[in-house]
Amino acid sequence: AYGARDGSQLLEVWRAACRQSGMVALAFALIYSLAGEYIIALLTSLPSLQQLADRYLIWQAILPVVGVWCYLLDGMFIGATRGAEMRNSMAVAAAGFAVTLLSVPLLGNHGLWLALAVFLALRGLSLALIWRRHWRHGTWFS
């Protein structure tokens, strides 16, 4: 749709991609929420490691829902060969990640998982804002 410079087709593809990506992310979150302990048990038979991994299962449910949007938007920006804007969004996300890392002494590994969630969220949000600005000003195809 981008190569054809067809805005209506691009919006149709965008909406379908959002629906499908969102559903898959929710499915993964649900699977991890309901069967996370069983998945961990398949990966290791060591009870101490299972207990340790169980502490962080909440992040396995959160991250697909938070992260799906930055990966979806990456595809839009890669397809449109907009590398500079991807770089800029990465800088914003990296700054947020660095600031959130300050929570690690207080939160331990949960702080690290939080920093990853913040990174993914800021990446998705910054790309969404850039995309929206281009779309509203009619500059996405230029």
| Prediction pTM value | 0.89
C-alpha distances (whole Å) from 15 to each of 2, 11, 33, 73 are: 14, 6, 27, 12
Residue 68 falls within a domain, yes or no?
Answer: yes
Residue 95 falls within a domain, yes or no?
Answer: yes
Domain of residue 42, residue span = 7-137
Residue 1 falls within a domain, yes or no?
Answer: no
C-alpha distances (whole Å) from 36 to each of 8, 23, 125 are: 40, 18, 28
Residue 2 falls within a domain, yes or no?
Answer: no
**pLDDT of 4-49, one tens digit each?**
666 788 889 889 999 999 999 999 999 999 999 999 999 999 999 9
Q: Measured between alpha carbons, how far is 76 from 101 in angstroms, rounded to an integer?
A: 29
Residue 130 falls within a domain, yes or no?
Answer: yes
Which of 1-10, 29-38, 53-62, 75-84 is least confident?
Answer: 1-10
Residue 13 falls within a domain, yes or no?
Answer: yes
Within 13 Å of residue 56, how many CA atoms lie on the same side as its CB?
Answer: 16
Residue 111 falls within a domain, yes or no?
Answer: yes
**pLDDT of 115-129, one tens digit each?**
999 999 999 999 999
In the chain, the number of structural domains is 1
